[in-house]
C-alpha cells in the first residue's frame, strides 16, 4: 500500500466506528421507542476519535484535529458516567488521557512548524480552513451541549439540541469535504443524516406520549 492509502484506511476505519455508534444508538432507540444513550455509543466514539485524530494529523488538517480535541474528553466523561471507565486497564486509561496532552505539548514546542503545515496548508485555502473549522466546532459543540445537559441531570443522555447541532454541523462538514474532495469526510458525515433526523422524531414522539399519559 502507498502512504496515502494507509492514511485513508485509518480515516475510513475511524468513520466506521462513528457510523457504528450511530447505527447502534438508532436501533436501540427504535426498540425503546425513546432516545437512548447506550454505552456502546461512547466506546465507538472514543475509538473513532482517537483514529480520526491520527488521520487529521497525517493529512495536515487542522479543522479535523480541532474537532477531536474538543469532544475527546467528553467521550471519556460519558464512559465514566456509564461506569465503564474504571474497568479499562490502567495503562490504557493513562494513554487515552495523555495522548491529546502530548500532542498539544508537541504543537507548543513546534509552533512555527505547526503554523506552516496546518494553518498555511497550500491544499486548503484560509477561507476553506475557517469554514471547515467552523463546521467542526458546530458539530463538536453538540457534545459540549450534551455534556452540560447530562451533568445537570446526573446521567448520560442525548437531548434534542444534540441532534439539531448534529444536522447543522454535519451539513457544513460534508460541504467542506466535497470542496476538498475528501471521501472520508463525505462518506462519514452522510451516513448520519437520517439517524439524526430520526432521533429528533423519536424524541418528539416519546415526549408527546409522556405528556399524554
Query: Which pLDDT tens digits describe the chain residue by residue (213 residues)?
Result: 566 788 889 988 998 898 899 999 999 999 998 999 999 999 999 999 888 888 877 776 666 676 677 788 999 999 999 989 888 899 989 988 887 777 667 666 665 665 665 556 666 677 887 888 888 788 888 999 999 999 999 889 999 999 999 999 888 888 888 888 878 778 777 778 788 988 999 988 887 776 665
Q: Which residue has the cell 503554523?
A: 115
| 117: DSSP letter | I
Residue 188 in contact with residue 147, Cβ under 8 Å?
no
Residue 144 in contact with residue 152, Cβ under 8 Å?
no
Query: Could you tell me the residue ranges of all domains in the chain?
Result: 3-212
Residue 71 in contact with residue 24, Cβ under 8 Å?
no
- Say how far apart CA 202 and CA 49 lie, in whole Å: 26
Query: Global pTM?
Result: 0.78
Q: How far is CA 164 from CA 98, 198, 212, in A?
A: 31, 11, 24
Amino acid at each position: 500500500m502507498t502512504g496515502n492509502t494507509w492514511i485513508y484506511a485509518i480515516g475510513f476505519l475511524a468513520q466506521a466506528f462513528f457510523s457504528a455508534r450511530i447505527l447502534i444508538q438508532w436501533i436501540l432507540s427504535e426498540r425503546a421507542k425513546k432516545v437512548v444513550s447506550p454505552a456502546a455509543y461512547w466506546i465507538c466514539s472514543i475509538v473513532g476519535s482517537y483514529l480520526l485524530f491520527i488521520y487529521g494529523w497525517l493529512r495536515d488538517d487542522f479543522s479535523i484535529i480541532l474537532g477531536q480535541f474538543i469532544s475527546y474528553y467528553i467521550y471519556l466523561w460519558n464512559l465514566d458516567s456509564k461506569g465503564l471507565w474504571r474497568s479499562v486497564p490502567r495503562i490504557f486509561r493513562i494513554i487515552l488521557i495523555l495522548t491529546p496532552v502530548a500532542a498539544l505539548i508537541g504543537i507548543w514546542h513546534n509552533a512555527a512548524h505547526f503554523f506552516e503545515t496546518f494553518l498555511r496548508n497550500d491544499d486548503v485555502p484560509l477561507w476553506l480552513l475557517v469554514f471547515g473549522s467552523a463546521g467542526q466546532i458546530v458539530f463538536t459543540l453538540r457534545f459540549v451541549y450534551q455534556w452540560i445537559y447530562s451533568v445537570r441531570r446526573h446521567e448520560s443522555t442525548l437531548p434534542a439540541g444534540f441532534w439539531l447541532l448534529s444536522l447543522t454541523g454535519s451539513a457544513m462538514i460534508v460541504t467542506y469535504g466535497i470542496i476538498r474532495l475528501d471521501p472520508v469526510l463525505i462518506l462519514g458525515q452522510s451516513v448520519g443524516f437520517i439517524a439524526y433526523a430520526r432521533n429528533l422524531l423519536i424524541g418528539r414522539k416519546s415526549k408527546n406520549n409522556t405528556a399524554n399519559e
